[in-house]
Structure 1
Amino acid sequence: MRTLFIVSVAAFSFAIAAHAQTPLSDADCTAAWKEAGGADLTPEKAKPFIANFDQVDVDHNGAINWEEFKAGCAKGLVTK
């Protein structure tokens, strides 16, 4: 029983780590923003860079601005 618990905790920890992204550098974040269009992003424009739009659109206005995008980069929520 104890071994099952330890294996379960290890598997859960690995699953969480697998979903975590590495934060983008400032340069990579800026490049991704420019590649995405360099203006407020709709869900469609953000799709190649952001897996979960709602996590980055913190004010929930339906668009991701530069400040939200930068914060998303720092949290590992944006990919290049």
Structure 2
Amino acid sequence: MRRSLIIWSLALLPFAVAVNAQANPATPLNDDDCAAAWKEAGGADLKPDKAKPFIASFDQVDVDHDGAINWEEFKAGCKKGLVTK
């Protein structure tokens, strides 16, 4: 019985790590890094294909769900740790 519990615990560990990673976003970008990432991404409203290298979850950053991320949404995503360099 104890061995089964250990095996199940080890089998479920990767799932627990993945859930924790989604619940805890990356370190927020400072204003300069955020502006640099925005410029590198194209400096205009970002469609999913342009945003992909910088944003893991497009829907979390596109808060108005218009299919594009504007500068204000991008900045908010930086502060929440949803944007990476």
Q: TM-score, with normalisation over the residues of structure 1?
A: 0.79
Q: Distance in 2 between matches of 1:43 and 1:74?
A: 19
Give the match for residue 32 of structure 2.
27
Distance across 2 between alignment mates of 1:62 and 1:34? 19
RMSD of equivalent CA atoms: 2.1
Letter in 1 for 2:20: I
What's 2:20 paired with?
16
Cα distance change, pair 17–45 in 1 and its aligned pair in 2 (3 A): closer
Structure 2 equivalent of residue 71 of structure 1: 76
| Unpaired stretches in structure 2, ≥5 consecutive residues | none
TM-score, normalised with respect to structure 2: 0.75
Per-residue deviation, 1:17: 5.4
Runs of 4+ in 1 over 3 A off after TM superposition: none
1:16 alignment partner AA: N
Q: Structure 1 CA distance, aligned partners of 2:59 and 2:38?
A: 17
2:47 alignment counterpart = 42
For 2:59 and 2:21, locate their aligned partners in 1 and report how far apart those are by CA, in whole Å: 21
- The SS at the match of 1:27 is helix
Sequence identity percentage: 76
Q: Distance in 1 between matches of 2:82 and 2:38?
A: 13
Larger Rg, first or second structure (1 or 2): 2
